[in-house]
Chains A and B, each alone.
Chain A
Amino acid sequence: MRDRPALVLGLVAALVAVLAIVAAVVAGTREHPALDAGTPDGVVQLYVVALYDGDDATAVQYLDPALGCTDPLPERYLAGTARIGVAATTVTGDRATVDLRIEEGAGLDTWSHRETFTLRRDGETWLITGHPWPIYECERWVD
C-alpha cells in the first residue's frame, strides 16, 4: 500500500477530468429552452428575460393592462447577470401562481431570492397581475 495517496490522487484527478468533459459537452450543446407564451411559467420567464434585455416594450406585453404599466417601466434595480429557474407552478381554473427562483450577480457576489407571480388567463395566453417583481406598482409612478 505504498502508493495509496498516489492512487487516491489519480482517482480524484480522473473523476474531475470526466466531470469537466461531461459538463463541457453538455454546456456546448445546451440550448436556451423554448419558452411558451401559452403557459404561466413561460410568460413569467419571457417577462423576466425581457426585463434583463432592457426591452420594456416586450415586458409590458406580459403584464395585465389593469396594472397600468407602460413603456418605459419604472426604475428598478437588476444585477447585470442572473440565472432563473421555475420552482413551482400552480394552475387553478383561470388563475395561476408561478414561483421563480432568481439568482442575481455572478461568481462569489451572488444572491438568490424567490418571487411569486400571480397570473390570470387571457384567451390563449396568460397575463401577470398582482404586484410583480421587480416593478410591484406602476400606478403611483403615473402622474
Chain B
Amino acid sequence: MGLSIVFTLLGLAVPVGLVAVLVLAIRRRGQDGSPGTGARGVRRFFQYLLLLALMIVAAIGVADLLGRLLGADAPGGETLARTLAFTLVGLPLALLIAWWTRRSMARDPEEAHAVGYAIHLTVAALIALVVAMFSLQTVLAGLLRGSFDGGALAAVLVWGALWALHWWLAARALDHGRAWPHLLFGSLIGLGTTIVALGLLLGSSLEVLLLDGGGQLVVGSARQLAGHGATLAVGILVWVRYWLWGGLRLPRTVPWLVTVLPVGVGGGLILAVSAASVLLWQVLVWVAGDPNGTARQHFADAPGALAFAVAGLVAWWYHRALLAESHETRTEVDRVHEYLVAAIGLLAAAAGVGMVVVAVIESFTPGLDLGVSVLNTLLGALTLLLVGVPLWWLFWARIRRAQAGDPEGEVSSPTRRTYLVLLFGIAGVAAVIALIVTVFVLLQDVLAGTASGETIRSMRYALGVLLATAAVSAYHGAVYREDRAVTLPAAPLGPRTVLLIGAPAPDLEQSIRRATGARTELLVRTDGTAPPWSEEAVLAAIATQPGEHLVVLTDGEGLRVIPVHRRP
C-alpha cells in the first residue's frame, strides 16, 4: 500500500537528489569559491537521506511491534524477524544520526539553515502524514463498521508521532520563505483527499437514496459509505491543519497563487464541468437519444457525476472567494482567474465543435453501431457546447468589457499575452498530431488499396480535432491582430542593470526591479560607513540617469550614481 509507494519514490529520489546537490554545490562553489561548500552539501545529502530512510525503517518496525501489543493479528516467523531487525537496527541508528545532527546544529547554526535540512523536514513530514492518513482512515472506517484494527491504530500512533515531531521541527526551523513547500503540498494532499472523498460519499449516498430505494437491501453499501466517510474525515483534518491554520496565512507569493488559482479554482472547475457534462449527457440521451437498458442501468453513474459536480463547484467557489477580497481595481490575479476560466470553457466548447464533426462523419459513412448511436454522439457534442460556451462567453465577455475600458492595460498584460500564445501553441501541437494521424490513416488505406468511406470514418476524431483547432485559432488570430493594432505607450527608458553598493536593504532591490524592470544586485559594504538607503532618493537618482548600466553607491557624502560599461 502506501509504504511500497514511499519506497519506490525514495529509490527514484536518490539519484535525482544527488545530481541536484552536486549541481548546486558546484554552482555555489563557483560563486563564493570557498572550498568545502560542495563537500558539505554532499555530506548533508547523505546524512539526511540516511536519517530519513532509518526513520522510515524504525517506524515500520515499531508500528508493527506496537500493533502486536494492541492485539493485531500478525504472523510470526519471517515477518516478526523483519520487524525485530527494523526496530533493533533502525531505531538506535536513527536516534544516533538524529543526535549527531542536533549536535552539529548546536555547534554550527548554519546547519539549521541548510537547504538539505529544509528538504528533509518537508519530505519526512509529508511521508509521515500520508502513511498516518492511510492508517487513520482504516481505523475510522473500522470503527464506523463496528470493528477494531490494532495494527492500523499502532501505525496511526507511530506515524502520527513522527509527523507531529517533524511538524514541530519545521515550525521552528523554517521561516515563511522555506515553509511553503511543506504547508502547500500538505494542503493539496488534504484538499485532494477531501474533494475526492466528498464526491464518493455524496455519490454513494445519492445512489442509495435515489436508485436503490429505501426498502431495498443493498449488500456492501453501508461498508462503502463508512469507508468514504472515514476518508472524508481524514481529508478534512489534514486540510484544516495545513491550509486553514497554515497555508492560508502564508504571504501571497507565486507558489501560493499557483495553489489557489490553477489548482484550486482551475482543478475544481474542470472537475465540475466534466461531471456536469456526464450528467447532462445522460439526461439528454434519456430524453432525446437512444438510451441503453432500464433507467436504473442508464443512470447508474448519474449520482456519482452529480456528487463530483457539487464537490468541484465547492472547491471552485471557495478558492474564488479567497481571491475576491479586493475587487475595486482589476489586478493581474483577477486577470489570471478570468483567462483561466475562459480557457476551461473554451476547451469544453472546442471539444464540442470537434464532436459535432465526429457526429457528422459518423452519420454519413457506412458502418454498424452496436449499442452506441450517432444521435448519442451528437448529444455529447451538444452537451459540451451547452456547458462550455456559456462559461467561456461569460468570462470572455467580461475580458472584452475590460479591454474596451482600458485597451492598453489589457492588451499589454502578461496574462493576456501568455493566454494567446499558449492557445496558439496548444492548438498548433494538437493540429500537427491530428494531421499526422489523418495522413497516416489515409496513406495506410490508399497503399493497401482499401480506401473507402470506412477510411474517413477512421479519421473522424483526428478531423474533429483539426477543425476544432482551426476554429479556435481563427477566432484568436483575429483577436491577436486586433491587439496588435492597439498602440502601446513606449516602454519607459530606464537602466538595464543596477549595482547597489552600501548598507543592507532587503526590499530595495525589488522596488527598483518593479519601478524600472532592471536587473539588480546589492553588495553590502563591510567598512560600516554606509548610511541606510532611502528608496525614494535611489529611484529619483536612477530616473535622471540615461545610462544602461548603473552603479549606485552610498557613503558619508550621500548618494552617487555612476554610469558604467559592462565590458571594458
Say whether B406 faces chain A, with CB atoms less than 8 Å apart.
Answer: no
Inter-subunit contact A28/B367 (CB<8 Å): no
Say whether A66 faces chain B, with CB atoms less than 8 Å apart.
Answer: no
Minimal beta-carbon separation of A115 from chain B (angstroms): 13
Say whether A107 faces chain B, with CB atoms less than 8 Å apart.
Answer: yes
How far apart sit A1 and B372, CA to CA, in the bound complex (Å)?
Answer: 45
How far apart sit A99 and B534, CA to CA, in the bound complex (Å)?
Answer: 82
Inter-subunit contact B378/A49 (CB<8 Å): no
Contact of B475 among A12, A26, A81 (CB under 8 A): A12
State the interface size on chain B (CB cutoff 8 A).
Answer: 44
In the complex where A19-B360, A20-B378, A20-B381 touch, is A101 in contact with B368 (Cβ < 8 A)? no
Residues of the A chain whose Cβ atoms lie less than 8 Å from the Cβ of B259: none
Give the residues from 11 to 32 in chain A that come closer than 8 angstroms, CB to CB, to chain B: 11-12, 15-16, 19-20, 22-24, 26-28, 30, 32
Interface set of B (CB-CB < 8 Å, partner A): 292, 352-353, 356-357, 359-360, 362-375, 378, 380-382, 385, 445, 448-450, 452-455, 457-458, 471, 474-475, 477-479, 481-482
Residues of the B chain whose Cβ atoms lie less than 8 Å from the Cβ of A12: 353, 471, 474-475
Residues of the B chain whose Cβ atoms lie less than 8 Å from the Cβ of A88: 448-450, 452
Say whether A67 faces chain B, with CB atoms less than 8 Å apart.
Answer: no
Residue of A nearest to B389 (CB): A13
How far apart sit A83 and B453, CA to CA, in the bound complex (Å)?
Answer: 14
Minimal beta-carbon separation of B173 from chain A (angstroms): 46
How far apart sit A10 and B475, CA to CA, in the bound complex (Å)?
Answer: 10
Inter-subunit contact A112/B458 (CB<8 Å): yes
Residues of the B chain whose Cβ atoms lie less than 8 Å from the Cβ of A23: 356, 359-360, 362-363, 374, 378
How far apart sit A21 and B453, CA to CA, in the bound complex (Å)?
Answer: 21
Residue of A nearest to B477 (CB): A8
Most buried by B among A26, A27, A49, A99: A27
Say whether A138 faces chain B, with CB atoms less than 8 Å apart.
Answer: no
Residue of B nearest to A2 (CB): B482
Inter-subunit contact A4/B482 (CB<8 Å): yes
Inter-subunit contact A27/B353 (CB<8 Å): no
Inter-subunit contact B374/A27 (CB<8 Å): yes
Residues of the A chain whose Cβ atoms lie less than 8 Å from the Cβ of B368: 32-33, 45, 48-49, 83-85
Minimal beta-carbon separation of A69 from chain B (angstroms): 21
In the complex where A8-B475, A12-B353 touch, is A83 in contact with B363 (Cβ < 8 A)? no
Say whether A7 faces chain B, with CB atoms less than 8 Å apart.
Answer: yes
How far apart sit A85 and B449, CA to CA, in the bound complex (Å)?
Answer: 16
Inter-subunit contact B458/A101 (CB<8 Å): yes
Contact of B360 among A2, A22, A84, A106 (CB under 8 A): A22
User: Which 10 A-B residue pairs are closest in the complex by CB-CB distance?
Assistant: A81-B371, A85-B367, A88-B450, A26-B363, A27-B374, A5-B478, A23-B359, A85-B454, A52-B370, A23-B360
Inter-subunit contact A8/B478 (CB<8 Å): yes
Contact of B371 among A82, A99, A107 (CB under 8 A): A82
Residue of B nearest to A88 (CB): B450
Residues of the A chain whose Cβ atoms lie less than 8 Å from the Cβ of B452: 87-88
How far apart sit A143 and B393, CA to CA, in the bound complex (Å)?
Answer: 66
Residues of the A chain whose Cβ atoms lie less than 8 Å from the Cβ of B353: 12, 16
**11 CB-based A-B contacts, threshold 8 Å:** A5-B479, A12-B474, A16-B356, A52-B371, A83-B369, A85-B367, A85-B458, A86-B366, A87-B454, A88-B452, A106-B371
How far apart sit A16 and B358, CA to CA, in the bound complex (Å)?
Answer: 12
Against B, the Cβ 8 Å flags (1 = close, 0 = not) of A100-112 are 0100001100001
Inter-subunit contact B365/A85 (CB<8 Å): yes
Inter-subunit contact A24/B475 (CB<8 Å): no
Residues of the B chain whose Cβ atoms lie less than 8 Å from the Cβ of A101: 454, 457-458
How far apart sit A81 and B479, CA to CA, in the bound complex (Å)?
Answer: 42
Residues of the B chain whose Cβ atoms lie less than 8 Å from the Cβ of A83: 362, 367-370, 372
Say whether A80 faces chain B, with CB atoms less than 8 Å apart.
Answer: yes
Minimal beta-carbon separation of A4 from chain B (angstroms): 5
In the complex where A19-B357, A101-B458 touch, is A84 in contact with B367 (Cβ < 8 A)? yes
Residue of A nearest to B349 (CB): A16
How far apart sit A19 and B381, CA to CA, in the bound complex (Å)?
Answer: 11
Inter-subunit contact A81/B378 (CB<8 Å): no
Residues of the B chain whose Cβ atoms lie less than 8 Å from the Cβ of A91: none
Say whether A9 faces chain B, with CB atoms less than 8 Å apart.
Answer: yes
19 more contacts with CB within 8 A, not counting A19-B360, A23-B374, are A5-B478, A8-B474, A15-B471, A23-B356, A23-B359, A26-B360, A26-B374, A27-B359, A27-B373, A27-B378, A33-B366, A52-B370, A82-B370, A83-B368, A84-B368, A85-B366, A85-B368, A86-B366, A87-B445
Residues of the B chain whose Cβ atoms lie less than 8 Å from the Cβ of A5: 475, 478-479, 482
Residues of the A chain whose Cβ atoms lie less than 8 Å from the Cβ of B378: 20, 23-24, 27
Minimal beta-carbon separation of A105 from chain B (angstroms): 9
Minimal beta-carbon separation of A93 from chain B (angstroms): 20
How far apart sit A137 and B360, CA to CA, in the bound complex (Å)?
Answer: 39
How far apart sit A54 and B378, CA to CA, in the bound complex (Å)?
Answer: 27
Residue of A nearest to B352 (CB): A16
How far apart sit A53 and B165, CA to CA, in the bound complex (Å)?
Answer: 61
Give the residues from 61 to 86 in chain A that come closer than 8 angstroms, CB to CB, to chain B: 80-86
Residue of A nearest to B450 (CB): A88
Inter-subunit contact B360/A86 (CB<8 Å): no
Residue of A nearest to B367 (CB): A85
Residue of B nearest to A26 (CB): B363
Residues of the B chain whose Cβ atoms lie less than 8 Å from the Cβ of A9: 475
How far apart sit A24 and B452, CA to CA, in the bound complex (Å)?
Answer: 23
Most buried by A among B369, B458, B474, B481: B369
Residues of the B chain whose Cβ atoms lie less than 8 Å from the Cβ of A24: 375, 378
How far apart sit A1 and B479, CA to CA, in the bound complex (Å)?
Answer: 11
